Structure formats: C-alpha cells, structure tokens
Structure 1
Amino acid sequence: MSLYFREVGSGQPVIILHGLFGSSDNWLTIARQLATDYRLVLPDQRNHGRSFKSETFDYQSMSRDLLDFIEENSIDHPVIIGHSMGGKVAMNFAVNYPSMLSKLVVVDIGPKAYPVHHQQILSGLNHLDLTRIKSRKEADDLLSDYVEEAGVRQFLLKNLDRDEDGAFTWKLNLPVITREIENVGEALSVEKTFSKPALFVKGERSEYIVDDDSQRITQIFPDNRIVSVSRAGHWVHAENPSEFLSVIKAFLME
C-alpha cells in the first residue's frame, strides 16, 4: 500500500521522516523554509497520519515502505532526513539500500537500543474515551492527568480526527503502536555500513545521543559528523528551528 505524502518546492529531492506519534504535518514549517532550493517530500509512515494501518510495525517493514515509496514516486537519490523513530527508519534504510540515497541526516537518535519510555503517553491516549469526548479542550484536560507538558499534549492531540458522523477518532493506529512499542526502541541490528555522508544532529539538552555513542555511529556510518544544536531538546527542529535549518542547509550544500 502507498504512503500518504505532502510535497513542496522543487530541485534536489529531500525526504523527511517524522517520529513516533507524528506525521508529515509536523515538518511542513521546516520544509517550506527549504522549498526555495529543494523538493521536499514528507510521507506519513505506516500507522501514522493519513497512511495505511497495519498489524505489522517494525523497522524492517517501514524501511521497505520507504523503498517502495521512492520507487513508486521516481525519487532519484534523495537526501533522507529522519527524526527520532524516523531517524531509525532512515538508518535502517541507508544500510540496507545505500544506492538509493545520496546523503543521510539523523535527528536526535542513535543506532543503539533505547528503553521503552512512552508508557505514560500511551496510557493517557488509551484512557481517552473518544465516544464520550465532545471537544479537543476536553481531551486536553483529560490527557493532562498523564502528560504534564502542554506542548507535548498539543503535539499528541494532532492525531485526533473526526469521522463522517462528527465523532472523534484516532489517525494513528493506537492499538498496534501500543502493542509493538518495544520495536521502536530496538537497536540497528544489521552488520552493514553506509559509507556516504551522514549528519547526526542532536539537541544540546537531549540525552538521546551522548559522547559514548560516537564510536558505534562511526562503525556503521564512517563518513559522519555529529552537530549539537543549542537551546534544544529532543524536538530540535521545533525548539531552535533557525539554528537547525542553518546546520541542515550547510550539509545539503556540500
């Protein structure tokens, strides 16, 4: 099945892959800032946004989705940018299909395994009874019992949609994501390398990439560079977009 996607700009193709609980919509602001010089293609990954729902949710499947997407849309040697879960998809894709892309950008995630740490969010989302909720404000109030940060709640509740009868429904495949959440944290398991340029962008305030990770990153991505964006946590592109864009533009122009 085909992935839903958004597209802006023209020129060298750049694919941006969103993270867990996200969608292509989260990256439109960044994409529009690059669209004067590049063709930005933003797919919704399986079980997210407007793309198809599947009982299978793992990096092998999502990497294959990306391969099919590139071939179906005749995208020639794109730069691939992936954030968080999208970065894991991008890394898996790069080592398995290195001839299909020109450069790799991984945003605030490494190839190592991460412990599952989304239980509170998943508990909150699963406790929202969409048959009873009448407004987004009500959903936000209920979710605040589980997720303290207003900005995170706003991000999560972008996944709410209305069906043809006006009732709330989830865009994302919440039952499958909940069931398969351990797959999201798994390490890059294949013993392959990607020798083309790879940029790792981390948030200064984030602990997803630490100094000790550089050795493993270099083993898999020998032509790598790790850049820290100041005053930013895990959502680097949203917390310091100007510096993030400066780093990305410099890498794209090389």
Structure 2
Amino acid sequence: MLLHSNILGEGYPFVILHGFLGMGDNWKTHGKNFAELGYEVHLVDQRNHGHSFHDTAFSYEVLAEDLKNYCKAKNLENIILLGHSMGGKTAMLFSTEYPNLVSKLMVADISPRFYPVHHDTILNGLSALDFDVIKSRGEADKALSEYVSDFGTRQFLLKNLYWVEKGKLGLRINLEVLKDEVAEVGEALPSYARFDKETLFLRGDRSEYIGPEDERIIKNHFSNVDIVTIPNAGHWLHAENPKDFFDAVMAFIK
C-alpha cells in the first residue's frame, strides 16, 4: 500500500512529513514556497492520517518502511527530508536505517528521546464527536472546545473533518488505532541509530520539546548537526513563525 502525497513543483526531491493527527496539507504553504525555488516537494500523508491507508500496525518502524516504499515507487534518491514532531521521529529513524536515500535531514521540534503520552485529552475530545448529531464544522468546534480550549489547536485538529456523504461528517484519521497505539508516538530512537550526513534540528523558543538536556542526546545520534532556535514560536514553529522557519530551512539546504 502506497502513501498518499501531494507533489508540488519540479527539481530536487524534498519530502515533508507531518506530525501526529496532522496531514501533508498542513504544509501546503511552505511546500508551494519551496517548490517555487526549484524543489519537487512531496507532502506525504503518513499511514492512518490524511488520505493514506488505514492499518492496525502503527510504529516508527512501519512508518519508516512506508517511506522507503514510497521513495522506491517514486524513484526518489538523495532526498531532502523534513519531519515535524511525529514526522520528525519517522524522519530520524528513516535516515538512520536508509542513509543512502537521504542527502540532508531536518527535524522540527522533537528530540530522539522518549516522551510520555500527553495526547489523551485531545483523543478523548475527538472520540466524543457525535457525527449523528454534529452537522457542521462550527458544531464540531463547539463540541471539541469542551476538551481543547485553544482555538488554534482545534482548527488544526478539525482539518481532519470531511464529508463522508451528503450531510454526514467524519474524521479522516484512523482514530481507533491512533488511540490504541498512542504510546508508540513517544518512543525513543533506538540507542544504536546513527546518521552522519548534514542534519538540522529546529526548535521553538517557547516549546518544551527540545531543551538544553536534549542537545547531548541529539549529538549522540547525529554527528554532523546544527540546532537552531526559531524565535516567537512554540511546538508548531512552522506555523507560528513561518518566515524565520522558512529562512532557517533555506539557509541549511542551500
């Protein structure tokens, strides 16, 4: 089964992996900007997300293998690879297991270390959406607000809404499997994993996902690494400060 993607532009292959409960379309604005500068940008939906296939298996091992199969099907080699959050963990493992397929690696606001489960409230809120009753995005937003107070986070989550049929909303994500396997999202990169090619870690200055103690962990796995802090940004650094994020990416890949 092949991952779904939206491919923009022509030129050097540039693959972008979204985070947990997201989709490739979250990166469409940045993707268009990269494409305009001569890159063939692949906005990939990881399994159980977006338009990609649903499956009960969900771990970084299978996510990395999905990407390997995608690259093989699309004849992609020496890709520039960028992953955010969960996508960053997939990108790390993929690069360490298939280094011949990656020319440069970028990881946005996630460390190789273990993270405890912290998505329970969000997953419970999404599970509580009753689409026999909810008939509009506004109604879904109101229902979800009882669990998720932040408006921006709700809008991110509600991008998963779609019309299953006329008058019937649903969620594109495979919510049941993602709830069951949510602990997998926080799993650490294997201790033996190493990648020696050029690597960039980007972190938001208001985010707690990459702290000072993470620098040693990062450098233990990635010997040729720079760590750049994006100002005025939290975990969604690419959306909260898109200009500085874009400039940092372009400075690295050029």
TM-score normalised per structure 2? 0.98
Q: Which runs of 5+ in 1 are unaligned?
A: none
Q: Residue 228 of structure 2: SS of its match in structure 1?
A: strand
Q: Deviations over 1:152-202 (max 9, x none)?
A: 101101101111343111100000000000000010125121000110000
* Residue matched to 1:128: 129
* Residue matched to 1:42: 43
Q: Residue 196 of structure 1: SS of its match in structure 2?
A: coil
Amino acid corresponding to residue 137 of structure 1 in structure 2:
G
Amino acid corresponding to residue 170 of structure 1 in structure 2:
L
Q: Which runs of 5+ in 2 are unaligned?
A: none
Root-mean-square deviation (CA), in Å? 0.8
Residue 76 of structure 1 and its aligned partner are, at CA, apart by: 2.1
Identity of aligned residues (%): 46
Amino acid corresponding to residue 77 of structure 2 in structure 1:
D
Of the structure 1 ranges 117-126 and 163-172, higher mean CA displacement relative to structure 2 is found in 163-172
CA distance in 2, matches of 1:205, 1:190: 28
Amino acid corresponding to residue 17 of structure 2 in structure 1:
L
Matched, 1:189 2:190: yes
Amino acid corresponding to residue 41 of structure 1 in structure 2:
H
Q: Residue 247 of structure 1: SS of its match in structure 2?
A: helix
* Residue matched to 1:176: 177
Residue 39 of structure 1 and its aligned partner are, at CA, apart by: 1.1
Of the structure 1 ranges 186-195 and 167-176, higher mean CA displacement relative to structure 2 is found in 186-195
1:8-23 superposed matches below 5 A: 8-23=8-23
TM-score normalised per structure 1? 0.98
Amino acid corresponding to residue 182 of structure 2 in structure 1:
I
Amino acid corresponding to residue 134 of structure 1 in structure 2:
K
* Residue matched to 1:167: 168
CA distance in 2, matches of 1:197, 1:46: 27
Q: How many residues align?
A: 253
Q: Residue 64 of structure 1: SS of its match in structure 2?
A: helix
* Residue matched to 2:117: 116
Q: Is the 8 A contact 2:77 2:100 kept in 1?
A: no
1:1-254 superposed matches below 5 A: 1-36=1-36, 37-253=38-254
